[in-house]
Structure 1
Amino acid sequence: MLASLAPGTLFAVALALVSSQPRFSWLTEPLRYPWELWVVALAGTTATVAGVADWRYHRVAQLRVGPNEHRAEFLALAGGGFPLFLLMCAASVARRPLAFLLPVLIVLIGTVVLICYDEFVFHRRRCDAWEALLHRILLGGHATAFLAWAHFCFVREGLHG
């Protein structure tokens, strides 16, 4: 459950922390937010709701996550998702964000491999249609939020110098 809530919470805290910097003073005025931030908020919220719904579904249906599946999910989060989040935070505030592009891509590829392993080895046979839909919404939301954030960091003109 905490894993579902952590990305959005940490993102909001990070935004609050950088809003006091002159470069990010626009964060105090929501009407000035770039479209990427709105997409991150919408897609991230969608992913979070799906993650909470999946957690609740497991509790109500009394579905047990085995130790191997738990280890795979932890590895995807701790070994992929969290480092990727930190790299994207660093790229967001860096004067030269493109210096983070290669590390971001390497960690992203590793994260996708770990997520695919978890989905194909553990979820493919066990999940019913509802849980599979929740997983797709969760992963699609995170992927959409990542792509919007990557556009903000690595593509958007005029923000970094």
Structure 2
Amino acid sequence: MRNYLSLLLLFLPALGFIFCLYIFRNHASLHIISVFPFLPWQFFIIGIFGIIATIGGVLDWSFHRDPLKLKISKKERDAEAAALGLGGIPMFMLMWLAMISATPIFYLIPIILFLIYTVVTICYDEFVFHIKRCSKRENIYHRMLVYGNGVAWITWFHFIYCK
């Protein structure tokens, strides 16, 4: 099961966002309307770049399942799980609470703190485990994951704080 934890955590934000969007579809702060395009433009950008990030994460995860490729160590797997589970998931929950809150500014500092933690753990993973051993192909997967999530996050942040 431990080998699949990072894969499971990879899908949680996307599934959580879709689930919460459905549950809160009538919440006024989401600005969902009954005619096309239904959702604010930021949600489409979040979806596109979230898909890019998820594809990059799945490709990277499957890349390490090939016995001819380098296997990742327990330490590296734990670092990735820490970034996703201890940084990304709490930040996701705070972002969602901010989005449906009448006073999203209340969540700003906790969101930034979790963002810093997540960025630090991602940098740790990249600079300790990946900097010298990754192939060009694997680096592309990492860039898809990191930049895709980064663009999706900053777009979501824009939706919350720049309405």
- Per-residue deviation at 1:32? 3.4
Structure 1 residue 83 and structure 2 residue 90: aligned? yes
Cα RMSD between the aligned structures? 1.6
- Per-residue deviation at 1:30? 4.6
Q: Percent identity?
A: 36
Structure 1 residue 49 and structure 2 residue 37: aligned? no
Q: Which residue of 2 aligns with 1:123?
A: 130
In 2: Cα distance, 1:79 partner to 1:114 partner = 10
Amino acid at match of 1:93: I
Contact 2:29 2:99 in 1 (8 A): no
In 1: Cα distance, 2:134 partner to 2:146 partner = 15
- Per-residue deviation at 1:44? 0.2
Contact 1:15 1:27 in 2 (8 A): no
Q: How many residues align?
A: 156
Contact 1:19 1:27 in 2 (8 A): no
- Name which of structure 1's ranges 69-78 and 42-51 shifts more when overlaid on structure 2: 69-78
**TM value normalised by structure 1:** 0.90
Q: Which residue of 2 aligns with 1:159?
A: none
Structure 1 residue 98 and structure 2 residue 105: aligned? yes
Q: Which residue of 2 aligns with 1:36?
A: 42
Structure 1 residue 2 and structure 2 residue 8: aligned? yes
Amino acid at match of 1:131: E
| SS in structure 2 at match of 1:59 | coil
- Per-residue deviation at 1:55? 1.5
Contact 2:30 2:99 in 1 (8 A): no
Q: Which residue of 2 aligns with 1:132?
A: 139
- Per-residue deviation at 1:98? 1.1
- Per-residue deviation at 1:65? 1.4
Whose helix fraction is larger, Structure 1's or Structure 2's? 1
Contact 2:27 2:100 in 1 (8 A): no
**TM value normalised by structure 2:** 0.89
| Gap runs ≥5 in structure 2 | 1-6
- Per-residue deviation at 1:107? 1.0
Q: Which residue of 1 aligns with 2:26?
A: 20
Change (3 A) 1:33 1:124: same
Contact 1:91 1:153 in 2 (8 A): yes
- Name which of structure 1's ranges 94-103 and 53-62 shifts more when overlaid on structure 2: 53-62
- Name which of structure 1's ranges 53-62 and 107-116 shifts more when overlaid on structure 2: 53-62
Amino acid at match of 1:150: F
In 2: Cα distance, 1:64 partner to 1:28 partner = 48
Contact 2:10 2:84 in 1 (8 A): no
Contact 1:40 1:144 in 2 (8 A): yes
